[in-house]
């Protein structure tokens, strides 16, 4: 078995925007076991899990801006985190009007 190729955040230049039912949110509490409590823009506080693809590539801390995909069932209380924005990307989202909540 070879080593895993870890992609650094500095190499990522494109910004993923919310599409469909995706919601922007702020990580407010780390709960352990790859779970995070997220305050979303639609007013719900969701218990979100970090997708397996992201677990070891991107570290999420309190106050980070994340992109959440609500579950089909329990959509008001549960979701998956599939992207974390860097600081410069979060500022760009604020300037363009995608992010209206304050951290």
Instruction: Report if residue 2 sits inside a domain.
Output: no
Q: State the Cα–Cα distance between residues 9 and 89, nearest whole angstrom.
A: 11
CATH number for the domain spanning 52: value is 2.40.50.140
SS3 content of the chain, % helix, strand, coil (to 5): 15, 35, 55
Domain count, the chain: 1
Instruction: Report if residue 7 sits inside a domain.
Output: no
Whether 10 shows a pLDDT value over 70: the answer reads no
Whether 56 shows a pLDDT value over 80: the answer reads no
Q: State the Cα–Cα distance between residues 100 and 61, nearest whole angstrom.
A: 20
What are the E-state strand segments in 1-103?
Answer: 23-32, 35-40, 45-50, 65-70, 78-84
- Compare 89 and 13 and report the one with higher pLDDT: 89
Instruction: Report if residue 1 sits inside a domain.
Output: no
By residue range, what is the domain housing residue 48? 20-96
pLDDT for the residue numbered 7: 54
Instruction: For residue 99, give both structure tokens.
Output: 């992010």
Whether 24 shows a pLDDT value over 90: the answer reads yes
Whether 4 shows a pLDDT value over 80: the answer reads no
Instruction: Report if residue 12 sits inside a domain.
Output: no
Whether 74 shows a pLDDT value over 70: the answer reads yes
């Amino acid at each position: 078995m070879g080593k895993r190729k870890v992609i650094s955040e500095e190499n990522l230049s494109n910004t993923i925007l919310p599409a469909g039912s995706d919601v922007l949110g702020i990580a407010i509490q780390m709960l352990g076991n790859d779970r995070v409590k997220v305050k979303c823009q639609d007013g719900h506080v969701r218990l979100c899990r970090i997708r397996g693809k992201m677990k070891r590539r991107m570290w999420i801390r309190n106050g980070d801006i994340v992109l959440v995909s609500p579950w089909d069932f329990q959509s008001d209380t549960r979701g998956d985190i599939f992207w974390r924005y860097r600081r410069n990307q979060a500022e760009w989202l604020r300037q363009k009007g995608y992010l209206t909540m304050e951290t």
